Amino acid sequence: MTEPTIAPGAALDRVRIGIVSISDRASSGVYEDKGLPALQDWLARAIRNPLDCVPRLIADEQPLISQTLRELADGGCHLVLTTGGTGPALRDVTPEATLAVADKELPGFGEQMRQISLRFVPTAILSRQVAVVRGQCLIINLPGQPKAIAETLEGLKDAQGHSLVPGIFAAVPYCIDLIGGPYIHTQDAVCAAFRPKTARRPLPV
């Protein structure tokens, strides 16, 4: 079936996304950061809209993390994704820094992320990822490893490509709709966005 379109000349909304890798060693140059490239690669594959990614590589310092999140959210980002710093170690303070800048918490994101990770390792119960809304920006803490980042965002599929566990990004575009952000179209083969029928828009030509 041909995908519906709207009037010629319409354009996809531009989306501004902050991506934040939080690591003492990567930020000090001890090893190469892999979080930012993994996030940028996945977003480029999953989103049809024109993207402006705003990268930040910072240390595990709670005031610095909160400051960075505030700057990105208040500076026009519609979505901010963080990676790293969500475990139980003493230096893992990303969730605390995220909650400190929140207007609202969205617990379902963290619950689903742990469900996905539990398919692989029992230590997934140690993860403390959170998601919050600040103003008109959605902020989500993701795992630290590139493979886990993709699995968390995209979900798990069987050999035939059928969904086994939904990824969290399926709910992100509608959440951004609800808080007043741009309408995000996804590449269904990577991660199909879910919206109620009344909230769906056709893909511009």
CATH number, domain of 140, equals 3.40.980.10
| Residue 3 within a domain | no
| Residue 125 within a domain | yes
| Residue 116 within a domain | yes
Q: Which residues contact 123 (CB under 8 A, 6 or more apart)?
A: none
| Closest to 167 measured CA to CA, from 128, 116, 131, 117 | 116
Task: Give the domain extent around 130.
Answer: 15-199
| Residue 98 within a domain | yes
| Residue 78 within a domain | yes
Residue that is written with structure tokens 């990676």 in the block: 83
- Rounded Cα gap, residues 11 and 16, in angstroms: 16
Q: Are 36 and 68 contacting, i.e. CB atoms less than 8 angstroms apart?
A: no
* Total of domains in the chain: 1
Helix axes 107-117, 146-154, angle to 10 degrees: 120
Ordered per-residue pLDDT tens for the chain, 205 residues:
333 333 344 589 999 999 999 999 899 889 899 999 999 999 999 999 999 999 999 999 999 999 999 999 999 999 999 999 999 999 999 999 999 999 999 999 999 999 999 999 999 999 999 999 999 999 999 998 999 999 999 998 778 777 788 899 999 999 999 999 999 999 998 999 999 999 999 998 7
pTM of the model: 0.93
- Rounded Cα gap, residues 111 and 184, in angstroms: 23
| Residue 10 within a domain | no
- Rounded Cα gap, residues 172 and 192, in angstroms: 10
| Residue 204 within a domain | no
| Residue 189 within a domain | yes
- Rounded Cα gap, residues 131 and 140, in angstroms: 4
